[in-house]
């Protein structure tokens, strides 16, 4: 067994782990950070979906929830974690969410300085209209015609060329993901990175204090451990080690379920040309419904289209005239993760109220597209025919049940929630696992609830705060 010693051992190099590793290494602590995935230099990122899905994602991106409906929940597995394959959208935690955390979980978080720091590190900038793509322009045009609020998204990029393949790694090296920003800075400050190592054991000693981690022939002895394996794997790791034994462990999973609708236009759209997620409409954000761009290269379109044979061929021949956009819901349902023979099983049932929100969001999107000149809108709701002639009647009249929707989700959160109330929180407000001193959680698992916006910089801001807390106590 190879044994290393550190002041802090960090598990995972995604949005949470990379930030903690860099901040603590720069504070002068000996940091060892362990990642199950591999390091992917930019020249190996080919942007071909069928190759990159296997290389950069866990289970080739086919992680699925059990429930109604089953939901594909892709997770990154690489240096940079899921930030390597994400769309780069950056939203700060909305004020209404922080207020809820204060009221329900006694968390009084002022994250402004942490957000400032994260956004500086990641170079968060607004998408320039010339890179946003025609797919976004059509939604901008339609939303403007209906007087709906929206805007170009803020993203962590430097030199983005709008190649449209963010979900398969960025071959231009433009995306400022955690593996390209925080991890190199952590290493420059002396942190040690082990890749291809899956941590299975969390070691504890006298009085229940953490003493280190172990897995795949590697052991790291450390008086502080930060788990940042993501909201699916962190609770499974805790449960497998009989730690964090709170009734809340593995529960309270929110995922921001999302779906994509398509529209046919007479004009060319070329949805793979431009930043895939470049524009949003937040007219229904107060009701937990966000419209955000979602696009990808033609191979992705071909794979993601639930048709086959001549129908599939006909659709692909018209692919240049297709538009696509996403609807994301701030979910009220809560799922759970449990560990079965070392693998997490994810259970999630969409709430009927959230199905109704999808119906509202999709109807608004259809109206936006029709206002922009769409000939036909296809919504991912079983039993609803393609909408034509500017009318959304068949969608409005439908009784949309959870099982009628085709969904994906990209934002698992909350499975080891922080709360001042021990009955609700696996973690205390300083993100320490109750009952195990020195053991912390610094990833999406700690986030108390769904946010209604994309979570990466919320996780990074919380991780920055956690690193400051640990550094002050060493």
Ligand X SMILES: Cc1cc2nc3c(=O)[nH]c(=O)nc-3n(C[C@H](O)[C@H](O)[C@H](O)COP(=O)(O)OP(=O)(O)OC[C@H]3O[C@@H](n4cnc5c(N)ncnc54)[C@H](O)[C@@H]3O)c2cc1C
- The catalytic site residues sit at 411
Calpha distance 203→180 (Å, rounded): 30
Contacts of 57 (CB under 8 A, 6+ apart): 74, 75, 76, 77, 85
Partner whose footprint covers residue 164, from ligand SF4, ligand X, none (CB < 5 to 8 Å by kind): ligand SF4
Q: Toward ligand X, which CB reaches closer, 74 or 361?
A: 74
Residue where the block lists tokens 């109750």: 434
Calpha distance 361→290 (Å, rounded): 7
Query: Using the rule CB under 6 A, which residue among 83, 93, 259, 449 binds ligand X?
Result: 83
Partner whose footprint covers residue 198, from ligand SF4, ligand X, none (CB < 5 to 8 Å by kind): ligand X
Q: Does 229 sit near ligand X (CB under 6 A)?
A: yes
- Angle (nearest 5°) at CA 12 between 9 and 15: 115
Q: Toward ligand X, which CB reaches closer, 44 or 356?
A: 44
Contacts of 91 (CB under 8 A, 6+ apart): 154, 451, 453, 454, 457, 458
Beta-sheet pairing, 224-227 with 218-221: unpaired
Sheet arrangement for strand 218-221: 2-5, 218-221, 210-215, 201-204
Residue where the block lists tokens 């890749």: 195
**Using CB under 6 A, which residues numbered 320 to 339 contact ligand X?**
none
Q: Contact positions toward ligand SF4, by CB under 6 A? A: 88, 157, 160-166, 170, 172, 174-175, 275
Region class of 106: left (phi > 0), else alpha (psi between -120 and 50), else beta: left
Q: Does 346 sit near ligand X (CB under 6 A)?
A: no
**Using CB under 6 A, which residues numbered 455 to 474 contact ligand X?**
455-456, 459
Residue where the block lists tokens 């349902």: 333
Partner whose footprint covers residue 270, from ligand X, ligand SF4, none (CB < 5 to 8 Å by kind): none
Q: How far is the CB of 358 from ligand X (least distance, A)?
A: 19
Residue where the block lists tokens 């419209």: 291
Q: Does 162 sit near ligand X (CB under 6 A)?
A: no
**Using CB under 6 A, which residues numbered 84 to 113 contact ligand X?**
85-89
Query: Using the rule CB under 6 A, which residue among 71, 199, 333, 439 binds ligand X?
Result: 199
Q: How far is the CB of 265 from ligand X (least distance, A)?
A: 25
Query: Using the rule CB under 6 A, which residue among 6, 12, 204, 462 binds ligand X?
Result: 12
Contacts of 313 (CB under 8 A, 6+ apart): none
Q: Toward ligand X, which CB reaches closer, 132 or 372?
A: 132
Q: Toward ligand X, which CB reaches closer, 74 or 171?
A: 74
Query: Using the rule CB under 6 A, which residue among 443, 450, 461, 467 binds ligand X?
Result: 443
Omega cis (within 30) before 151: no
Residue closest to ligand X (Cβ): 14
Residue where the block lists tokens 């018209």: 318
CB-count exposure of residue 278 (10 Å: 0-12, 13-18, 19+): buried
**Long-range contacts: 388-391, Cβ < 8 Å, 24+?**
none
Q: Which residues pair with 72 in a beta bridge?
A: 64, 408
Q: Does 214 sit near ligand X (CB under 6 A)?
A: no
Partner whose footprint covers residue 163, from ligand SF4, ligand X, none (CB < 5 to 8 Å by kind): ligand SF4
Q: How far is the CB of 57 from ligand SF4 (least distance, A)?
A: 15
Q: Toward ligand X, which CB reaches closer, 101 or 280?
A: 280
Q: Toward ligand X, which CB reaches closer, 146 or 187?
A: 187
Using an 8 Å Cβ cutoff, are 258 and 281 in contact?
no
Q: How far is the CB of 250 from ligand X (least distance, A)?
A: 15
Q: Which residues bind ligand X (CB under 6 A)?
A: 11-17, 34-37, 74-78, 81-83, 85-89, 167, 198-199, 228-231, 233, 237, 277, 410-411, 443-444, 454-456, 459
């Amino acid at each position: 067994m190879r044994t290393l010693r550190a002041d802090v051992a960090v598990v995972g190099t995604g949005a949470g782990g990379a930030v903690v590793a860099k901040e603590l290494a720069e504070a002068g602590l000996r940091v060892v950070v362990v990642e199950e995935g591999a390091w992917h230099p930019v020249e190996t990122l080919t942007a071909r979906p069928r190759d990159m899905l296997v290389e950069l994602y866990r289970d080739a991106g086919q992680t699925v929830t059990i429930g109604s409906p089953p939901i594909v929940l892709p997770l990154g597995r690489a240096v940079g974690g899921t930030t390597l394959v994400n769309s780069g959208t950056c939203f700060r935690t909305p004020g209404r969410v922080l207020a809820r955390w204060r009221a329900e979980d006694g968390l009084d978080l002022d994250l402004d300085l942490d957000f400032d720091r994260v956004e500086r590190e990641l170079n968060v900038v607004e998408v320039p209209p010339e890179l946003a793509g025609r797919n976004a322009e059509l939604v901008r045009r339609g939303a403007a015609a209906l007087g709906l609020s929206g805007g170009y998204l803020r993203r962590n990029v430097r030199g983005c060329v709008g190649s449209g393949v963010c979900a398969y790694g960025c071959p231009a090296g433009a995306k400022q993901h955690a593996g390209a920003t925080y991890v190199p800075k952590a290493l420059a400050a002396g942190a040690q990175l082990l890749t291809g190592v899956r941590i299975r054991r969390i070691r504890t000693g006298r009085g229940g204090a953490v003493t280190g981690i172990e897995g795949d022939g590697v052991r790291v002895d450390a008086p502080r451990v930060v788990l940042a394996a993501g909201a699916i794997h962190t609770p499974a790791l805790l449960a497998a080690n009989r730690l964090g034994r709170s009734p809340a462990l593995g529960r309270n999973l929110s995922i921001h379920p999302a779906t994509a609708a398509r529209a046919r236009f007479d004009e060319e759209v070329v949805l793979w040309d431009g930043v895939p997620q470049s524009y949003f409409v937040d007219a229904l954000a107060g009701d937990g419904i966000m419209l955000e761009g979602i696009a990808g290269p033609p191979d992705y379109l071909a794979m993601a289209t639930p048709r086959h044979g001549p129908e599939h061929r006909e659709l692909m021949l018209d692919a240049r005239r297709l538009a696509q956009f996403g609807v994301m819901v701030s979910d009220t349902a809560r799922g759970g993760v449990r560990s079965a023979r070392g693998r997490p099983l994810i259970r999630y049932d969409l709430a009927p109220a959230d199905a109704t929100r999808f119906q509202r969001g999709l109807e608004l999107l259809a109206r936006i597209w029709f206002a922009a000149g769409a000939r036909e809108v296809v919504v991912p709701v079983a039993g609803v025919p393609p909408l034509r002639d500017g009318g959304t009647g068949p969608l409005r009249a439908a009784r949309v049940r959870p099982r009628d929707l085709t969904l994906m989700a990209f934002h698992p959160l909350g499975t080891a929630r922080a709360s001042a109330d021990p009955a609700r929180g696996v973690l205390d407000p300083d993100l320490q696992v109750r009952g195990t001193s020195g053991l912390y959680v610094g990833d999406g698992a700690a986030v108390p609830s769904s946010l209604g916006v994309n979570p990466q910089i919320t996780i990074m801001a919380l991780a920055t705060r956690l690193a400051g807390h640990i550094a002050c106590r060493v």
